[in-house]
Amino acid sequence: MSNVRAQAAHTLYHVVDRGVSLSAALPRYSRDLNPKDKALMQQICYGVLRYLPSLEFYCQQLLDEPLKGKRRVYQFLLYVGLYQLIHMRVPEHAAVGETVNALKAMRAPGLKGLVNAVLRNFQRQRDELEAAATQIDACKYNHPGWLLKKLKRDYPEHWHTIVAQNQAQAPMWLRVNQRQYTCEQYAHLLSKQGIEYSQFADYQDAIKLKKAVDVQKLPEFFAGASSVQDAAAQQAARLLGAQDGEYVLDACAAPGGKTCHILELADAKVMALDCDAERLDKVRANLQRLHLDAELVCAQAQDTESWWQGQQFDRILLDVPCSATGVIRRHPDIKWLRRHSDIDELAKLQGQILDAIWPLLKPGGTLLYATCSVLSEENQEQMKAFFTRHSDAQHSPLHEQDSIAQPGWQLLPGDTDGFYYAKIIKQ
């Protein structure tokens, strides 16, 4: 029989120590669990990753030495136990008892005494341990030091808010398929189902749910009436502004939310390009559910010779690979999978893709550059460097603060995820 806490420990070990993404590890280790236990395991894994530095600190204080080598996975079981004691509404005796019992499923009953002692000692010393943790920035904010440094540099007035939002649970947004319903009509269907929501004038196709629900409970979801997509990501298709009959490239398209949104708003001919065949299957599945059609191409965006047929595009959406620092609350593993050195490498790759794709745009055409990052190297600095390299690139402001000196529109995590957009016209 699968044990939720044992499976959570294995998942966390593979994410933090082996560099496997949470979205890959969670399904693997939760597949034998019932829906209720799957939800519990997800809650634990997300929580431990949100608070990892402080949990590590408590273990450092409570263990004579960290568990290493073959015993390393049990270190993550301790994090699971501590997270429950601090952040979950599990009775303390149950949190300790169930964590100790997980060792049976992990075939390490000999460690029961150690795990029990660490968790009991934490209960006794909790106040002083938590006070000590707040003196260390990484523990106080539960972010890696390099990322805190960059956020403080880029957002001297807002970094506290960004960090707090990264620790929060992300809201669930829907995108209403305008080919089938207006937002008002779909909102009425939600009301009939007893699903509470709110609407915002700034987000034309979006509805925000008061609390997340299973898509199976959404009205006509499988008939294509709506999709799950954050309101910030929904801005891409609206800002791109594709028109009927135009030839549009969605580069780095998977999993296809933006591709589908473009087609919901216009009868355009769309090529969806991505280098990951497995993720391209998700684009195909989304298109099928929404009764839409696009040309799918599996290739590296910058390797244009391998896939481009010579016809220039009217519009290009370039949602480049990025640090994903704007969506940490949805993917808390990003804080621990990303390294400081990754940012320069990603910025270099983004520049290469921009330069390779730019010749594929018609004169007079529009390129929309997008990231789900909040870091200036990937956003404003990237755009400034691009305008310096390309004299035929004309900056098209998206709002009053969007200027050549500080190009683009940066959304920070809050109501929506953190996203960046910059619009460029080819002269």
Segment 18-61, tens digit of pLDDT: 999 999 999 999 999 999 999 999 999 999 999 999 999 999 99
CA distance 279 to 191: 34
- Measured CA to CA in angstroms, residue 18 lies from 72, 132, 178, 225, 251 at distances of 12, 29, 42, 39, 29
| CB distance 281 to 305 below 8 Å | no
Segment 66-88, tens digit of pLDDT: 999 999 999 999 999 999 999 99
Residue reference for tokens 């008002």: 184
Segment 305-359, tens digit of pLDDT: 999 999 999 999 999 999 999 999 999 999 999 999 999 999 999 999 999 999 9
Asked whether residue 15 carries a pLDDT value surpassing 90, the answer given is yes
Evaluate the CA torsion angle 128, 131, 132, 133 in order and state its sign: positive
CA distance 126 to 81: 13
Helix (H, G, I), strand (E, B) or coil at 314: strand
Segment 238-273, tens digit of pLDDT: 999 999 999 999 999 999 999 999 999 999 999 999
φ, ψ of residue 115 in degrees (nearest 5): -60, -45
Q: Which pLDDT belongs to residue 412?
A: 98
Q: Which pLDDT belongs to residue 323?
A: 98
Query: Nearest to residue 297, comparing CAs of 279, 320, 319, 313?
Result: 279
Q: Which pLDDT belongs to residue 1?
A: 40
Q: What is the mean pLDDT of the chain?
A: 97
| CB distance 106 to 82 below 8 Å | no
Q: Which pLDDT belongs to residue 388?
A: 97
CA distance 343 to 299: 23
What percentage of the chain carries pLDDT values higher than 90? 99
243: left (phi over 0), alpha (psi -120 to 50) or beta: beta
Q: What is the mean pLDDT of residues 415-419?
A: 97
Segment 363-409, tens digit of pLDDT: 999 999 999 999 999 999 999 999 999 999 999 999 999 999 999 99
What percentage of the chain carries pLDDT values higher than 70? 100
* Residue of 252, 260, 322, 372 marked active site: 372
Q: What is the mean pLDDT of residues 147-164?
A: 98
Whether the full predicted model's pTM is greater than 0.85, yes or no, is: yes
Task: Quote the tokens at residue 257.
Answer: 């939310």
Asked whether residue 224 carries a pLDDT value surpassing 70, the answer given is yes
- Which residues on neighbouring strands pair with residue 410, listed in sequence order? 420
| CB distance 75 to 57 below 8 Å | no
* Ordered alpha helix ranges (H), 142-194: 145-154, 159-166, 183-192
Query: Nearest to residue 272, comparing CAs of 287, 206, 264?
Result: 287
φ, ψ of residue 247 in degrees (nearest 5): -100, 115
Q: What is the mean pLDDT of residues 187-210?
A: 97
Q: Given the DSSP bridges, would you call strands 269-274 and 247-251 parallel, antiparallel or unpaired? A: parallel
- Measured CA to CA in angstroms, residue 71 lies from 58, 108, 304, 361 at distances of 18, 9, 48, 55
Cα-Cα-Cα-Cα torsion 52, 419, 391, 355, nearest 10 degrees, comes to 60
Based on the residue annotation, tell me whether 372 is a catalytic residue of this protein.
yes
Asked whether residue 2 carries a pLDDT value surpassing 80, the answer given is no
